[in-house]
Amino acid sequence: MLQFTTLEDVSGWFKEAGPDYDTVFSSRVRLSRNLTNHVFPGTLTAEEEEKVQEEISRGFSKLPEWRFACASLSELKPLERRMLFERNLISQDYSLNGGRAFFYDRKTNITGTINEVDHLRMAGIHGGLSLKKTYREVNSLDTALEKELDFAVSMDWGYINSEVPNIGTGLRASVMVHLPALIETDIIEKAFKSVMQLGFSIKGFLGNDDALSEDGTLSARSQAASSLGNIYQISNQLGAGLSEEEILEKLEVLVTKIVESERKARQEMVEKRGVELEDSIFRAYGILTNCRTIGSKEAIELLLSFRLGVALDWFKVPMETVTALLFLTQKSHIQQLIGSSDIATDTKLVDYTRAQFIQKALGSAERAVSSGGY
């Protein structure tokens, strides 16, 4: 599942294109469930944790139509757990705890984590704006498991969860969007504020949301790029008050409007600042394909700049290739290529290997149409 030597060896959601893929990286849907007759994970003893894990594992084993691989995190090397985090399949906190179990279905990209914040969290992820497709798959698993497990549910409150915002549907839907042009406009504050007013949250990639104030506006214009590469995650804040379908529909409508605004802003950038934009993107491509070493942060920023060029049809290369590189060039993945699990692996060697991997992946990229010059 995790080992690879080339881009072609890897499968995963980040190699899958989808609707509005030029702007929307991925759609993720998570359902949180808890078992009756057990306290929440935060107060479970080690013995009780094991009982919950065994009970849920038995439930998964009774689903022959699904092909889940199960692994105890204690059986995975720390490097492998960090790789799961880098692929956005488990949280960082969960990756640090070796006494828990992790389920994964390669065909659907559905993961299941046991004894994280809730007894069971099932999450699906697909490329592009694919909320409804992702929900159907996760809901299908939830329906199947509900026949095998006794989930805690209230007629008044819905599904009982350890976190108040998740009570009700237990659903958390999120979409990761790339907004390099919109972030440069005067309407970005209004757009972010609208997200909050509609009951959704927005945060920067890797949680870099310090620049956002409570009402969703940017606290300082100079901090507009606080999100690495201008990637933002938009998600629902509450699981109660609306049905699952209503939450997904509201989020999809909201994201569609943001996508339309981003595309319009991109076109205006091309028309008004075409040479400047082209210079920035071609510089990114030049560094990526010629550098000898490159750090993780710089690689992400340059890959995102290059991805914008691909979205504008300035380069002929699959956009999925560029998206995959954003995840496969993070430190733990490069360590796997090197064959070192030591977190203190020589930084220069990591940066050199990262540069070589990127250049091999982008070797077939061809320049397409110029923006036109002055």
pLDDT score of 317: 93
Do 231 and 204 contact (CB within 8 A), yes or no?
A: yes
87 domain-assigned: no
- Report which of 57, 172, 63 is spatially closest to residue 125, judged by C-alpha positions: 172
Nearest Cα residue to 229 out of 294, 283, 177, 286: 177
Q: Does position 224 have pLDDT exceeding 60, yes or no?
A: no
Residues comprising the chain, all counted: 374
Closest C-alpha to 229, from 292, 154, 117, 306: 306
Q: What is the pLDDT of residue 206?
A: 57
Mean pLDDT of 171-197: 89
pLDDT digits (tens, 9 = 90+) for 246-293: 999 999 999 999 999 999 999 999 999 999 999 999 999 999 999 999
% of residues, the chain, pLDDT over 90: 55
pLDDT at 218 over 80: no
Are the CB atoms for 201 and 195 separated by under 8 Å?
A: yes
Q: Residue 73's pLDDT is what?
A: 80
Per-residue pLDDT for 114 more than 60? yes
The reported pLDDT for the residue numbered 130 is 97
Q: The tokens of 20 are what?
A: 């509005």
pLDDT at 34 over 90: yes
Number of domain units in the chain: 1
Q: Alpha helices of the chain — where are they, by DSSP H? A: 46-61, 78-86, 92-95, 131-146, 188-197, 244-290, 296-311, 319-328, 331-338, 347-361
Question: Is 312's pLDDT higher than 90?
Answer: yes
The pLDDT-based confidence of 215 (bands split at 50, 70, 90) is very low
Please indicate, yes or no, if residue 84 is contained in any of the structural domains.
no
What is the distance between the alpha carbons of residues 113 and 91, in angstroms, rounded to a whole number? 10
User: In the predicted model, what is the mean pLDDT of residues 222-235?
Assistant: 72
Is 26 part of a structural domain of the chain? no
Q: Of the ranges 130-139, 213-222, 358-367, which one carries the lowest mean pLDDT score?
A: 213-222
Please check whether residue 351 lies inside any domain of the structure: yes
The pLDDT tens digits for 316-348 are 999 999 999 999 999 999 998 888 767 667 889
Tokens of 280: 């920035």
Tell me which residue of 73, 71, 70 sits closest to 97, measured CA to CA.
Answer: 73
**CA–centroid distance for 80 within its chain:** 18
DSSP state of 314: S
The rounded distance, in Å, linking the Cα atoms of 329 and 343 is 15
Residue 2 belongs to a domain: no
**Highest mean pLDDT, choosing among 9-13, 121-125, 184-188:** 121-125
Residues 13/109, Cβ–Cβ less than 8 Å: yes
Q: Domain for residue 139, yes or no?
A: no
Q: Dig out the tokens for 159 from the structure.
A: 């599904």
Within-domain flag for 352: yes
Position with higher pLDDT, 96 vs 84: 84
Residue ranges making up the domain that contains 303: 273-367
115 backbone φψ class: left, alpha, beta (φ>0; ψ -120 to 50): left
Degrees (nearest 5) of the Cα angle 96, 1, 299? 70
Helix (H), strand (E) at residue 331: helix 331-338
- Give the model's pLDDT for residue 222: 36
Question: Does residue 27 form part of some domain?
Answer: no
Question: Each residue of 38-70: pLDDT tens digit?
Answer: 999 888 888 998 899 999 999 998 988 888 888
DSSP for residue 30: E
